[in-house]
């Protein structure tokens, strides 16, 4: 019980660290230096980072990498990626190079609608939501004008409002569903603010005597919140080439066999949820890395993508492969609710830099780049799965990590890499090889 604390948030950073070391880290005084080594010297910058969260005691560092040579809709990008997994960036870069000489990637935004709900309980006659719908919606639009006018001036705002019933499953429960256009912002704060105001307006409307008397009900607001499921904020990316171009070196069997194996691997992920989860995880290796780099909400985008993958009731692959005559096409369609203004996008210096590297894209352009990166990652993963296997590339990268961990560098590191070029890599095998080397 002595590990319970009150007022932790009120302590200074230093006091927070002391408390942690005392209660959870066996008074190990070296830990303080470990924690502090990740502090940023620039105090102003550190204060900005501290402001993103609460009870901050240090920074958690992840690699910031670049995957160059992405040709998307005839424009070349160097794509920033924040990811800790070996070989993901190398795979993205190699897929980008591969498609660079085959016309590059194409991408298209299909829709950009975001959705939110006011969930409420209504014990009266549900006819009110049909008969009075127009006047209620009108009143809501008037009452929220002050909040939406700036977004409207940029071409966004509320696009649709309607009532929905959940009473088949939960007695007396209804929703106001609101469709939004949030332009270049992800829009979570805007949507939630507007929804909370709609909730107040709705309660006011229903407190007015004539509604209560005419329909004999009581309205109780349950909650107001955006939905991270945005199936109408959809983007598609695709690549295509002739089957012959798929592996011009014919290093892997015949190109036709490779194309068929590739398509079968994608089909397996379409029908088998066990494979689909891993397949889609590979897609999110790319998507999350860029979403994180640009300061967007990767949890929201992941949750949405997985719900979309299960939209027909079964969890399936998000990508599709078709072979028509001698043309191989590989595509990814996925909802991506992201922004290039607001949130962390310009506050976090590395997110700001990421957007600069991408040449200040609009939210729609960023949706296309994110989707393309997911497709590229998936292409690289499936191609290596059906040819060399995934471990070859993975373990090569892992070997560098092992050597770092063992403090092996220079000539000896090169010798180890050369030795394991055509051998199975494991920690034990590496240690045995090192032990056998003359001192």
Extract the tokens encoding 280.
Answer: 């889609």
Neighbour order of strands in the sheet with 106-109: 106-109, 234-242, 327-335, 319-324
Q: How far apart, in whole angstroms, are the C-alpha atoms of residue 131 and residue 176? A: 15
- Smaller CB separation from ligand MEV, 236 or 279: 279
Given the residues 184, 247, 297, 365, the one annotated as active site = 297
CB of 328 to ligand MEV, least distance (A): 18
Is 85 one of the annotated active-site residues of the chain? Answer: yes
Q: Which of 85, 142, 152, 356 is catalytic?
A: 85
Which residue lies nearer to ligand MEV by CB, 265 or 336? Answer: 265
Q: Report the interhelical angle of 363-385 vs 88-100 (nearest 10°).
A: 100
Whether 297 is a known active-site residue: answer yes
Nearer to ligand MEV among residue 148 and residue 280 (C-beta): 280
Q: Is 271 a catalytic residue?
A: no
Name the site residues for ligand MEV (rule: CB under 6 A): 85, 278-279, 281-282, 285, 381-382, 385, 390
Q: What tokens appear for 54 in the block?
A: 């609460």
User: Is 83 or 408 the residue whose CB approaches ligand MEV more closely?
Assistant: 83
Q: What's the closest the beta carbon of residue 377 comes to ligand MEV, in angstroms? A: 8
Closest CA to 289 of 120, 128, 62: 62
3-state SS string for 341-401: ECCCCCCCHHHHHHHHHCCCCCHHHHHHHHHHHHHHHHHHHHHHHCCCCCHHHHHHHHHHH
What's the min distance (Å) between Cβ of 283 and ligand MEV? 8
Least distance (Å) between residue 279 CB and ligand MEV:
5
CB of 381 to ligand MEV, least distance (A): 4
- Of residues 288 and 297, the one with the C-beta less far from ligand MEV: 288
Closer residue to ligand MEV (CB): 230 or 317: 317
Q: By Cβ distance, which residue is nearest to ligand MEV?
A: 282
Helix (H, G, I), strand (E, B) or coil at 35: helix
Instruction: Determine which one of 281, 306, 396, 417 is catalytic.
Output: 281
E-strand stretches of 64-156: 64-72, 75-82, 106-109, 114-122
367 neighbors 184 (Cβ within 8 angstroms): no
Task: Please list, residue by residue across 141-152, b when 16 or more beta carbons sit within 10 angstroms of its beta carbon and e when fewer do.
Answer: eebbeebbeebe
| Shortest Å distance, C-beta 276 to ligand MEV | 10
Question: Which candidate, 77, 56, 55, places its Cα nearest to that of 67?
Answer: 77
Q: What is the largest CA-CA distance in the chain?
A: 94
| Residue closer to ligand MEV, measured from CB, 368 or 384 | 384
The enclosing H or E element of 158 equals: strand 157-165
Catalytic site residues?
85, 281, 297, 394
């Amino acid at each position: 019980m002595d590990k319970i604390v009150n007022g932790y948030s009120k302590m200074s950073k230093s006091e927070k660290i002391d408390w942690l070391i005392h209660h959870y880290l066996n008074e190990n005084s070296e830990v303080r230096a470990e924690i502090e080594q990740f502090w940023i010297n620039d105090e102003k910058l550190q204060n900005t980072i501290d402001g993103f969260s609460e009870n901050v005691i240090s920074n958690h560092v992840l690699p910031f990498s670049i995957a160059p040579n992405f040709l998307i809709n005839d424009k070349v990008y160097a794509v920033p990626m924040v990811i800790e997994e070996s070989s993901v960036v190398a795979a993205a870069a190699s897929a980008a190079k591969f498609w660079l000489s085959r016309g590059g990637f194409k991408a298209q935004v299909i829709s950009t609608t975001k959705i939110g709900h006011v969930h409420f309980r209504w014990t009266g006659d549900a006819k009110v939501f049909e008969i009075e719908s127009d006047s209620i919606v009108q009143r809501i639009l008037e009452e929220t004008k002050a909040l939406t006018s700036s977004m409207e001036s940029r071409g966004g705002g509320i696009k649709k409002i309607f009532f929905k019933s959940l009473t088949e499953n939960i007695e007396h429960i209804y929703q106001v569903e609101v469709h939004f256009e949030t332009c270049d912002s992800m829009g979570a704060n805007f949507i939630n603010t507007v929804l909370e105001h709609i909730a107040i307006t709705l309660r006011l409307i229903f407190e007015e005597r004539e509604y209560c008397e005419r329909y004999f009900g009581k309205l109780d607001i349950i909650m107001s919140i955006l939905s991270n499921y945005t199936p109408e904020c959809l983007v598609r990316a695709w690549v295509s080439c002739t089957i012959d171009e798929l592996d011009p070196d014919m290093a892997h069997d015949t190109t036709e066999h490779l194309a068929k194996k590739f398509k079968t691997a994608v089909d397996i992920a379409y029908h088998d949820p066990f494979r689909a989860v891993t397949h889609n995880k590979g897609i999110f290796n790319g998507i999350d890395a860029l979403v994180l780099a640009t300061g967007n909400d990767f949890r929201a985008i992941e949750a949405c993508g997985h719900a979309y993958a299960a939209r027909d009731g079964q969890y399936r692959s998000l990508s599709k492969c078709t072979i028509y005559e001698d043309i191989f096409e590989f595509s990814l369609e996925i909802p991506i609710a992201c922004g290039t203004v607001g949130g962390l996008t310009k506050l976090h210096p590395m997110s700001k830099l990421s957007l600069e590297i991408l040449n200040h894209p609009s939210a729609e352009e960023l949706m296309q780049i994110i989707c393309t990166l997911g497709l590229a990652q998936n292409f690289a993963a499936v191609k290596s799965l059906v040819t060399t296997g995934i471990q070859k590339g993975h373990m090569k990268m892992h070997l560098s990590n092992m050597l770092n961990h063992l403090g092996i560098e220079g000539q000896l590191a090169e010798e180890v890499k050369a030795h394991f070029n055509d051998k199975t890599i494991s920690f034990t095998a590496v240690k045995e090889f090192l032990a056998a080397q003359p001192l």
